[in-house]
Amino acid sequence: MSSYLQLSGVNKTFGNFTALGHIDLEIEKGEFVTFLGPSGSGKTTTLMVIAGFEDATRGEITVDGQSLSHLAPQERNIGIVFQNYALFPHKTAAENVYFPLQMRKVGKKAGLKKAEEMLELVGLSGFAHRLPKELSGGQQQRVALARALVFEPDLLLLDEPLGALDKNLREQMQIEIKRIQKRLGVTTIFVTHDQTEAMSMSDRIVVFSDGAIEQADAPLEIYHRPATRFVADFIGESNLLPATITDAGTRRATSPVLGDVTFGAEGCPQVSDGQTVDLLIRPEHLKLSRDPKEGRQNAQMQIETIVNYGDNAVVIGHASDQQIRVRVPGADVVILKEGDTCHFSWTEDAVFVLTE
């Protein structure tokens, strides 16, 4: 049985520039999938090709088994929310939400009634008669979301819709969008460059780089078991340390920074003796101490900078000319000073091997 949304061999070129190389992706009905990547990585281009605003140079896109290739954007039954909201300034909130129903020849009385029901769903009960200029940024965003959902689309596409909002409102809207998506069960693609947003909202994250998909997986899989060095470096903070496999059978390696290391078995790729790899250890998986910790692998570092976030801090130092980052509880910072020499330690389960 095929997936609800399928992209098969999708390629997009602009003259001599290849924006999308060869995109293969399957999304299940009701999934919330986030496209994540740096600027120019291909995530928005992929969204625009799905929406029909850009034509694929090659490849096929199907929804529920039906090809979208020869359909105009307005024929694809796709709801879209952009960062700038694109509300009609002279129409009320209800009239803005009614507009796509009007285009589908839904009568005004029935259409406005449905529009008001959708405004209630997005938390704007009582705001139906306000103009966009009378609404806050977050309220305008909710109107745009209601407008994209009112005609019961097959897909909901969200192109960095929270980028213009302040931090607190952004976090509030993340929760609201996820709540509404789950309630309606609409298949959703969310484009962002914000990693925290992607981690907190998604069923799956698709990481893009240079017009290709690096990895498509659940958020915690992406974070703890990245498929490539790019994903490991792009997602969250990381310590990526060069090493050589000394005994693949017993999961041992040697590193100029860490010395002899035993690495975890879960999710690590197959390796062979003598192979050059990178070892990934997330900053929160390292512990700092004045003395070596018994029962834990450890090495020595000199602290250079302490970045305090209140509830936690990142301690940045060097070991054998390699930068090391350690995340510690905020209360522990008072016993650390820049310039100190200390030990950092880890368990084998904290060490993940990267070969690509």
* Model pLDDT, residue 283: 95
Report pLDDT for 1: 55
> What's the average pLDDT block by block, 10 residues per block, for the chain (356 residues)?
89 94 96 95 96 95 93 93 87 95 92 94 92 91 93 94 81 89 95 92 97 97 94 93 94 94 86 94 92 81 91 92 91 80 92 92
Domain coordinates of the chain in residue numbers?
A: 5-229, 237-354
Fold topology of 237-354: OB fold (Dihydrolipoamide Acetyltransferase, E2P) (2.40.50)
| 242 Cβ contact list (under 8 Å, min separation 6) | 255, 256, 257, 276, 277, 278, 279
Evaluate whether 13 touches 54 at the Cβ level (below 8 Å). Answer: no
| pLDDT at residue 144, rounded to an integer | 92
pLDDT at 335: 77
Domain 5-229 matches domain 237-354 at the CATH topology level: no
Q: Quote the tokens at residue 77.
A: 């039954």
Quote the pLDDT of residue 319: 93
20 pairs with which residues across the strands? 12
**Quick one: tokens of 196?**
């925290």
Cα pseudo-dihedral 65, 69, 75, 80, rounded to 10: 90
Among 152, 157, 133, smallest CA distance to 83 is for: 157
Residues 6 or more apart whose CB falls under 8 angstroms from that of 329 comprise: 311, 312, 313
- Please report the beta strands in 28-139, taking only residues with DSSP state E, as ranges in sequence order: 32-36, 58-63, 66-67, 78-82
Instruction: Let me know if 15 is exposed, middle or buried by CB neighbors in 10 A (0-12, 13-18, 19+).
Output: exposed
CATH topology of domain 5-229: Rossmann fold (3.40.50)
Judge if pTM exceeds 0.85. yes
